[in-house]
Amino acid sequence: MFTCVKKGARSAGLFFVVMMPATIALAEETAALSGTVTAVGSGEPLDGITVVVSNLNQHFTAPPAAQVTTNADGEWSADIEFPFNPELTVIVEAAGPDHAPGRHGGTVAVNCYFNCGGTDQGSFSISPGDNISGLDISLEPGGRLSGAITRASDDQPLEAARVLAMPIDTPWTRYSSQFHGVADETGQYETTLAVAPGDYHLMAHPAPGENYVIQAWQGYTCQFEQCPILDTDTIEILEGAVTENLDFSMAAGAALSGTLTPADIPRVVRLFDGSGRMLDDFLFAPWEPPGEDQWEFSGLAGGSYYVELGPFSSTEPWLRVLHNGLLCPFSGCERATGDPLVIPAGATLTLPDVALESGGQIEGKLVDATTGEAPPTVGEWLLRTYEILSDDGTVVGGGTIDEVDDEVLLLPSAALPDGEYYVRTFTAFRGEGIGYQWITGDPSTGYLPGYVDGMYPDIVCAGVKCNLDAAEKVTVTDGEITSITIELVTGSNIEGSIVDDETGDPVPGAIARLLSADNEILASVISDNDGQFWFGAFPDGDYYLRTTMSGSNGMGHLGVQHRYFDRLEGSESTCSEMLCDPADGAAITLDGSDAGPFELRVEPGPVISGRITAQPSGLQLNNGRVEVYDSSGTFIGSYRINPSTGQYQTTALAPGDYTLVPVVSPAYSAVITGDTNPREVAGPLSAAGFVVSIGTEDVSADLPVIDVGADQIFDNRFEASE
């Protein structure tokens, strides 16, 4: 079997075409499915209802296994073919012009119908020769919507543009294309299948290949499908009615293009918005014939962007760079760094040609310092990562740790420029060490039990803390792979639990942090469903332990949010993040034996929460963080925006005044209340923030920022090249 894809496809939405040699014959046997569709309550048979049988063995974008229509008696039947699989898992769903969708065997309503990536509730298996009847569905009344889609510049109709309705409680879940409203040659659309009555978010998409900006209801523009839909107004779809006059006026999209060579290697171009959130990628696929070097993104709303250009695989000997020339040599780098690209709405920008440069790589293995043999692993697969650091301790690269043929290997790293680097096994991207057991994740995930993280060649690390002065540097040379061996020793584990002090209930999904005496964060782990956590492993010494009830382990972690004060082990009082002083607690002394279990009892308290909003639209940004300082300017903590909710939330805070600083990227600056001009976020950071007072109740505070590039466009402070 061969798989082909259109050259220059975007990997986020690849369209695969399966081709088979003529010698492969399709199976002739089929399965027969049948049933009846009736109205809920009356039991009246429903004529003209669309019934779809979806094959869950295929990707949800694939055509359905069958699509038929009921007759006057509400009956339907379908023959299902088995071209490749001897057994299929299917779901049966139905909807009509006046009846909302339903699913056979669905005990509760789902938010996604006709196999658009939703739940597999009601699924069952079929095999060739099966004859299954009684696949009945009862449908509730529903409603539809209609309107017009036109071009903003001249009100001309946009044929084949479409409108999507998304449930208000799960707006990221979308009904399949059969439920979309598609504009005709006059720009008018009306959905043909009903959805359940209720409130919905709406989005209008251009026709495939057309360069217009995706738009949410009430004129909000989106960057591709990264749209803050939760901020937009909703419309109500009524039972038995068509909600009319839901019109969209779509603006022309901006376009960004360029070339990337060498053309004989697999490459990828990734596009990020000004906040650093990935919008799309353009793939020069490894299975394509070489030679193409042109890439393009269209449908952009305009403003600030970042572009990453590099090899398809991070193990290739080519340097990954940003559009501004800064290196981004590993998957955990901060993309929104340095000067952004600025594109006016509707404009076209072509970047200078980019030719990837080659670099050097690091590989190696981990061994037990005593035996010289590979350390034993636990779990079905290891797949941890290691980090490469510059002279000042900044993480500049990395690679994968894997178990191969009974050896624990450092697989080839991402490419680096010529130079000398430090290499350690601990990764700050998710806050995990080689001896950390994923008690909250997949139990098959491997680790090195009892082993302490190390730095080349044999330096013992306490989490992120390694003695750079004692370590040796690794020389990286362009076009070469430098092999190293890191010797590891065993240490001690620390375990404990996080508990609600009032109820005694465990607090799952909270962060426990291990600290040094000077309050340096050495490692962070997350509590499991029983509130338990586990650190492994650390060298002998004194450590301090506390919670982080709202925060994240690192760039690769979305963060947790809990309305509790923090607790320091050995302290009788509550505290808040970095205001927790290790001197107020009790040291945990490791001397070769495991320590614990320790119980950290946390108390609820008031928090500050809200959003970072982009001005002048007021729509939320789903990427960024909020730094919090007390009235004396002491840093308390940094709180990530949860990309699912668009919200930040602090740990519980004592009554008082706090300065909140929204930090997004160099593309954004804070807008201070009472000032119409943006101000740069600069040190001290507290000088560019918002003062928020909190007492004994929660406080909501939205923090406005402005895209500096968009602000410049608005004020005509530069002349755009079109």
Look at strands 254-261 and 348-350 and give their pairing.
parallel
Considering only residues 363 and 382, tell me which one the structure prediction assigns the higher pLDDT.
363
pLDDT tens-digit series, residues 279-332: 999 999 777 666 789 999 999 999 999 999 999 888 899 999 999 999 988 777
pLDDT tens-digit series, residues 231-257: 788 999 999 999 999 999 999 999 999
pLDDT tens-digit series, residues 84-139: 778 999 999 999 999 999 999 887 777 788 877 667 889 999 999 999 999 999 99
Choose the weakest-confidence range: 69-83, 165-179, 533-547. Answer: 165-179
- The mean predicted confidence, pLDDT, of the chain is 87
Residue 351 pLDDT > 80: yes
The answer to whether residues 77 and 34 touch, using CB atoms and an 8 Å cutoff, is yes
Greatest mean pLDDT among 433-437, 499-503, 533-537 lies in: 499-503
Q: How confident is the model at residue 430 (pLDDT cuts 50, 70, 90)?
A: confident
Q: How confident is the model at residue 443 (pLDDT cuts 50, 70, 90)?
A: low
From the CB of residue 644, how many other CB atoms can be counted at a distance below 10 Å? 10
Residue 628 pLDDT > 90: yes
Taking the CA atoms of residue 52, residue 56, residue 57 and residue 59 in that order, the dihedral angle to the nearest 10 degrees is 90
Tell me the C-alpha to C-alpha distance, in Å, between residue 206 and each of 11, 225, 284, 400, 672: 20, 12, 25, 41, 37
pTM of the model: 0.86
Peptide bond before residue 86 is cis, with ω within 30 degrees of 0? no
**Helix and strand tally (H, E) in the chain?**
1, 61
Alpha carbon distance, N-terminus to C-terminus of the chain: 45
Residue 579, sorted as left (phi over 0), alpha (psi -120 to 50) or beta, turns out to be: alpha
pLDDT tens-digit series, residues 400-411: 999 999 999 999
pLDDT at 68: 97
pLDDT at 553: 79
Residue 404: partners with Cβ closer than 8 Å, 6 or more residues away:
none
Length, in residues, of the chain: 722
> What is the helix (H) or strand (E) element at residue 712, kind and residue range?
helix 708-714
Q: How confident is the model at residue 337 (pLDDT cuts 50, 70, 90)?
A: very high
pLDDT at 28: 56
SS3 (DSSP) at 572: coil
pLDDT at 436: 87
SS (H, E, C) 579-628: HCCHHHCCCEEECCCCEEEEEEEECECCCEEECEEEECCCEECCCCEEEE
pLDDT tens-digit series, residues 556-568: 777 899 999 999 9
pLDDT at 11: 42
**Residue 39, both tokens:** 């109205």
Tell me the C-alpha to C-alpha distance, in Å, between residue 501 and each of 529, 572, 635: 17, 12, 26
Instruction: Set out the domains of the chain in order of their start, with CATH numbers.
Output: 30-139 (2.60.40.10), 144-250 (2.60.40.1120), 254-355 (2.60.40), 361-488 (2.60.40.1120), 492-602 (2.60.40.10), 608-711 (2.60.40.10)
pLDDT tens-digit series, residues 554-609: 777 778 999 999 999 999 999 999 999 999 999 999 999 999 999 999 999 999 99
Distance CA 512, CA 503 (A): 20
pLDDT tens-digit series, residues 480-516: 999 999 999 999 999 999 999 999 999 999 999 999 9
Distance CA 52, CA 114 (A): 6
Distance of CA 24 to the CA centre of its chain: 40
Choose the weakest-confidence range: 21-25, 208-212, 283-287, 364-368. Answer: 21-25
**Percentage, residues of the chain above pLDDT 90:** 70
**Residue 423, both tokens:** 């290499």
